[in-house]
Structure 1
Amino acid sequence: MGSVKAELLRLWKWPATWVLIGVWLVMTLTFGYVFNYLALNGGTNTRSMSQQQLISAMQPENVGAAVVRGLPMFGGAIILVLAALAIGSGYGWGTWKTTLTAGPRRVSAMAGTLGALGIVVVLLVALTFVVNLGASITVASLEGWDWSLPGLGVFQALGASLLIAAMWTAFGVFLGVVTKGPALAVGLGLMWAIVTENLLRGVGSLLGPVESLTRVLPGGSAGNLAGAVGGSGAPGVLTDLSGTTAALFLVGYVVFFVGAATLLKVRRDLV
């Protein structure tokens, strides 16, 4: 617990944490509400979404879908960057070297970082939900719509959001440990989350085995889980797998990334 508290304090005072959180909140509000609201009120090109679809996307009862639909690609990339920076920066600053020579409890430093990142991710998803709910209520009130608060189904969407965010966090931790630095870890993570999987999906339209593979890759599994809980209408959201199958793949990725990162750190950095 002492390691978790120390890491939380570091992340709390670290400007990068707040910059990334701010960027994500601005993105989710802009693409989820600002653009849709402008399209609904005087937009000149609404062929991709009907007026009723725009209204439905901004209704408070659908805020769970608004939270989860941005996480498979752009939100996930931001979370990955935060995790990669949190782990990789310790190598550049030399703090891992100091921590890992601090005695028999040195391995707990890794657990402390993972615990702190887990708390940050939970708070980030909760904050995203609150911000989106406030935006949706504001839009519904301005437009005079009949609206209601989200039902119990919102917890399914929030649970899916947490699992997707956990997978991207674990991926970022893994890259930070493998590369032993923040810059390369961030670059590789962004390239994978935003570029590589999308290119593979393009190739998949020509090669069936590649298409099948993309469905179960980290981003594909996240997109399928988002699609299964109603988060359609955003880049990276898919409907090729059932929600249960996608969730199992994501759990497997979390276990693999965290386990591999921990094993590598113990075998390599403690020698």
Structure 2
Amino acid sequence: MSGSFRAELVKLVRRPASWLLLGVALVLALLFTYVFPYAGYAAGTAGPNTDRALPMLLPDQLVGNSLGGFPVFLGSIVLILGVLVVGGEYGWGTWKTVLAQGPSRLAVYAGKLLALLVAALVVVLAVFGAGAAASVLIAATESQPVAWPSASDLAAGIGAGWLIASMWATLGALLAIALRAPALPVGLGLVWMLAVQNLLTAIAAPLLDWVAQLQKGLPGPNAGSLAAALGAASDTPGVAATVGGGQAALVVAAYLVAFAVVGGALLRRRDIL
């Protein structure tokens, strides 16, 4: 498995799509978390929240600001990466070539999952780092004091972001194995994350109590609840305190394990092509 893990890391580093997705994630995180809100504050067009806009952009809000995108937008980027890492083997027809080198299916799969966990951590750290730089720049521009979150809060935020991102990446891997292709899993995953779960939250849940209860067990609302528990703004898409932070963390972790196990079972039992 270690050989497969190292090989997958090399492939991730050398694959231009990996760097492109990381760049897109950073641009989205900075634009919607810092650039647009600060531009609205500076222009005095932030509506009734103008006076409260600046404090939300300072370094002490780093954890919540960095986590806000992972339940939906940044999570969708990581899901795409998960699809590409596993589904690319189907698209290029290279599964037989990889397995002919000697490793078992599960060993290759485990190597891919470990590489995805590393990639998810890199994305989380990059988002936190970019957010820290942006918040310090805003604080300096506005002559505001620089106060950072405590080390424990920062560690909890990075851990939560890694957990959420890993769950979405593993879901992408599962979809790629289930559909044995790269394109369709990306489309279905994005439709679920960007459309279906938001429609359930905004339209169906207020009308039907059973939908509201169902949401408490779905991955997206639990990811949003975990982010909300650590300070993410409630007006961020996908962020809402549907359940408590502890329960949300357990549910997200359970989905991560379930996605990984089901993906491994499908890969082991089904034909490669």
**Which residue of structure 2 lines up, in the alignment, with residue 264 of structure 1?**
266
In the alignment, which residue of structure 2 is the partner of 1:36? 37
Alpha carbons 1:215, 1:224 under 8 Å: kept: no
Give CA-to-partner distance per residue, 1:211-257, whole Å, 9 cap, x none: 11123211111011111111123110011200011111111101110
Aligned residues: percent identity? 39
Question: 1:270 Cα shift?
Answer: 6.4
Unaligned runs of 5+ in 1: none
- TM-score normalised by the chain length of structure 1: 0.95
Aligned to 1:252: 254
How many Å apart are 1:107 and its aligned residue? 2.9
CA distance in 1, matches of 2:120, 2:198: 25
How does 1:94-173 map onto structure 2 within 5 Å? Answer: 94-103=93-102, 105-152=104-151, 153-173=153-173
Q: Give the Cα separation in 2 of the matches to 1:181 and 1:11.
A: 18
Q: Deviations over 1:157-178 (max 9, x none)?
A: 2111111111111111110110
Q: Tell me which amino acid in the other structure corresponds to 1:111.
A: A
**Could you list the runs of 4 or more consecutive aligned residues of structure 1 that deviate by over 6 angstroms after TM superposition?**
none
Deviations 1:172-225 (A, max 9, x none): 111011011110010010011111111222111111001111232111110111
CA offset at residue 106 of structure 1?
A: 4.3
Residue 192 (structure 2) aligns with: 192
- Displacement of 1:104: 5.2
Residue 243 (structure 2) aligns with: 241
* Number of residue-to-residue matches in the alignment: 269
- Aligned counterparts, 1:39-58, within 5 A: 39-47=40-48, 49-52=49-52, 54-58=53-57
- Separation (CA, whole Å) in 2 of partners of 1:258 and 1:150: 33
Moved more, 248-257 or 152-161: 152-161
**Cα RMSD over matched residues?**
1.5
The 1:101–1:270 alpha-carbon spacing in structure 2 relative to 1, beyond 3 Å, is farther
User: Is the 1:100–1:107 contact (alpha carbons within 8 Å) kept by the matching residues of 2?
Assistant: no
| TM-score normalised by the chain length of structure 2 | 0.94
1:70 and 2:69 matched: yes
Pick which of 249-258 and 208-217 moved more.
208-217
Offset at residue 269 of structure 1 (A)? 3.2
- Structure 2 vs 1, CA of residues 104 and 90 (structure 1 numbering), >3 Å: closer, same or farther? closer
Cα displacement string for residues 6-43 of structure 1 (whole angstroms, at most 9, x for unaligned residues): 11111111111111111110011001111111111113
